[in-house]
Structures are given as structure tokens and as C-alpha cells.
Amino acid sequence: RAKREGRNCWRFYSHDIEESLRTRMALQRSLQHAMETRAFDVYYQPKVDLLTGAIVGAEALVRWRRGDGVLVGPADFIAGTEESGLIVELGLFVLEEACRAAQLWQSCGAGISVAVNVSPRQLTEDTFAGRVSDILERTRLPAGLLQLEITEGTLVNQLEHHRTAMEWLKDHGVLIAIDDFGTGYSSLSYLKRFPIDVLKIDQHFVRNLLVDRSDRAIITAIVQMAQGLGLQLVAEGVEDAGQAETLAALGCRTAQGYFYGRPMPLPAFRQLLESRCP
Ligand code: C2E
Ligand code: MG
Ligand code: MG
Ligand code: MG
């Protein structure tokens, strides 16, 4: 009897795996099709100077306009594109769109930067740094207006491999930001070993900032460390004025979040910029 149960169990399990494999492959086909039919859109979320209220930059965030009209967020498909390798092509598409956009924003005045998320899979391509350089040349965006956002986990997993690409980018003036800072399991020593310019404080620490003393203590420590290391700081996930005021009081200069604007299509972002143009 036990044997039979075991057998049924195995069947059930194997069916499950097969099913999930099928679903994953169907998703990957849809994503490939989306790439071919240009069904990915880049949205932009403003980054704001907490002291002046000025827009100082934007983060590029990809969306998938699915065939059925639903706009799908990256949480539901980036992993799929990483699995199939499509992220390499998608990442370059987002990068080029973002650089082209930021080149236009310059007409509004001094340097509004654009930040683009980079997957580990992209960094391990030997051609990555060269492709970034090609895109900067094609779009005529000054390298100093481009920030590449990398998560802590990405760095820790393939330290040495990534260092070459990062140093090359740094030499060419591109800025490197650590995304979701404080959530990875990593020793802080990589801050010393890598050419990092910006830390983005993860939204988890910002969410309960007004009521949670630990979050406040952690942010205070990050501010001090950033000052000591000469790094720029951006707080993510700012949703209300109280959080903004507290962050400013703690010494964080730049913020991003729904309080200042949700990610929006390029025309809407341009309108927002123009309405604030001096
Ligand atoms: P991320 O880089 O940490 O981006 C910030 C995420 O927080 C975005 O979610 C943004 O819409 C959301 N967010 C911004 N302000 C607030 C706020 O005030 N409250 C809350 N609750 N959320 C806020 P999104 O657009 O869904 O992107 C999720 C993640 O997907 C990104 O996290 C990033 O890791 C990844 N991603 C997005 N675009 C790309 C891309 O082009 N390439 C790669 N490799 N990853 C991307
Ligand atoms: Mg990011
Ligand atoms: Mg983040
Ligand atoms: Mg994130």
C-alpha cells in the first residue's frame, strides 16, 4: 500500500513539474514574441531633490503590453527573460530607449540623469560594456547622466567577473548604483572594492520610517556611511510627506516614490518636466 501511495505521489509530482515546465515555456514564447513585436514599454519614475523639490533624474522601468491589453509589471516577467536569456536583448532595448529619452530631457536644463536596472545575466556578457558605450555614442547622452542599477546580490555572486565590466564603465564616466541597498546578504566590504557611486535605500526601510525606530536607526547609519564613503544616496518608496521630511532631516538628499510620481510613459514624464522647467 505504501508503495502504491509512493507511486501515486511520484506521478502527481511529475505531473506538477511537467505542468510548470509547460507554463514556463509558454511564457518564454510569449516574451520572445513580445520582443519581436515591440510590445515592451519603458516607463519613467521621477527622482526628486528633497531640499529643492526639483526633478533630478528618473528610473527607467520596463512594462509588457500583453496581447490581451493587460499591462504586466516586471515582477511577473523579468525572471522569465533571465531564464531564457532574452534579458540580454530586452536590457539593451530598455537601455537605448532610456538614453534616447534622457538626451531629450537635457533641453529642459541641466543634467537630468536616467537610471537603468541591469540583471546579473547582462553583466556576465563579455560584450556588455562595449554595448553600453555604443548606445551612449548613438544617443549622444553624456555618460555621466547614465546610472546602472545593480543589486547587492548580483555583485556578491560573481565578484571578480563583474569588476572588469564595472571598472570599464566607471572609466568611461557611467555611474553605478546599488539597488535595494540593505536587503542583500553581503559584507559591506564590496563598497570598498567596487567603483560604486550611488546607494538606493530599499523601500522596506522607508515604509515604516515614522513609527519604527530600527528603520530610522538603519537609515541614519546608511546616511553616515554614504557621507564617509562619498556616495550619493537615494531613498526608494517614499509615499508621503512625513517620510520625505524625516528623510531630509536624517540627511538623505534624494528620493523616489509614489509621493512624487508613479512610473509613467515618456510623454507624461516629459510633460511633468516641462511643467517644472525654469
Ligand atoms: P526596483 O529597481 O527596485 O524599482 C523600484 C520598484 O518600486 C518599481 O517597481 C517601482 O514602480 C516601485 N515603486 C516606486 N515607488 C514606490 C512607492 O512609493 N511605493 C511602492 N510600494 N512601490 C514603489 P516595478 O516597476 O514593478 O519594478 C520592479 C522591479 O523589476 C524593479 O525594482 C527592478 O528590480 C525590476 N526591473 C524593472 N525594470 C527592469 C529592467 O528594465 N531590467 C531589469 N533587469 N529589471 C527591471
Ligand atoms: Mg532599480
Ligand atoms: Mg529598488
Ligand atoms: Mg527591487
CB 61 less than 6 A from any atom of ligand 1: yes
Mean pLDDT of the 214-238 span: 96
Interval between CA 4 and ligand 4 midpoint (Å): 45
CB 182 less than 6 A from any atom of ligand 1: no
CA distance 125 to 12: 39
pTM, 2 dp: 0.93
The ligand that comes nearest to the alpha carbon of residue 264 is 1
Confidence band, pLDDT 50/70/90 cuts, at residue 159? low
Residue 27 corresponds to which amino acid?
L
CA distance 42 to 95: 9
Interval between CA 180 and ligand 1 midpoint (Å): 10
At 173, give phi and psi (nearest 5°).
95, 0
Interval between CA 186 and ligand 3 midpoint (Å): 16
Taking only the tens place, the pLDDT of each residue in 9-47 is 556 667 788 888 899 999 999 999 999 999 999 999 999
Task: Tell whether the model's pLDDT for residue 137 goes beyond 60.
Answer: yes
CB 257 less than 6 A from any atom of ligand 1: yes
Task: Tell whether the model's pLDDT for residue 156 goes beyond 80.
Answer: no
CB 237 less than 6 A from any atom of ligand 1: yes
What residues are neighbours of ligand 4 (ion), with CB under 5 Å? 180
For ligand 1, atom 15, name the residue with the nearest CA: 257
Q: For residues 63 and 71, is the Cβ–Cβ distance under 8 A?
A: yes
Largest CA distance in the chain: 80
C-alpha cell of 104? 531629450
pLDDT at 184: 79
Q: Among 59, 97, 117, which residue has the most ligand 1 atoms within 8 Å of its CB, making it the best to mutate?
A: 117
Least confident of 90-99, 189-198, 267-276: 189-198
CB 119 less than 6 A from any atom of ligand 1: yes
Interval between CA 14 and ligand 1 midpoint (Å): 34
Taking only the tens place, the pLDDT of each residue in 37-94 is 999 999 999 999 999 999 999 999 999 999 999 999 999 999 999 999 999 999 999 9
Measured at the CA of 81, the angle between CA 76 and CA 86, to 5 degrees, comes to: 155
For ligand 1, atom 10, name the residue with the nearest CA: 263
Interval between CA 35 and ligand 2 midpoint (Å): 21
CA distance 61 to 1: 54
Q: For residues 45 and 264, is the Cβ–Cβ distance under 8 A?
A: yes
CB 120 less than 6 A from any atom of ligand 1: no
Surface-to-core class of residue 20, CB atoms within 10 Å of its CB (0-12 exposed, 13-18 middle, 19+ buried): exposed
Mean pLDDT of the 230-259 span: 97
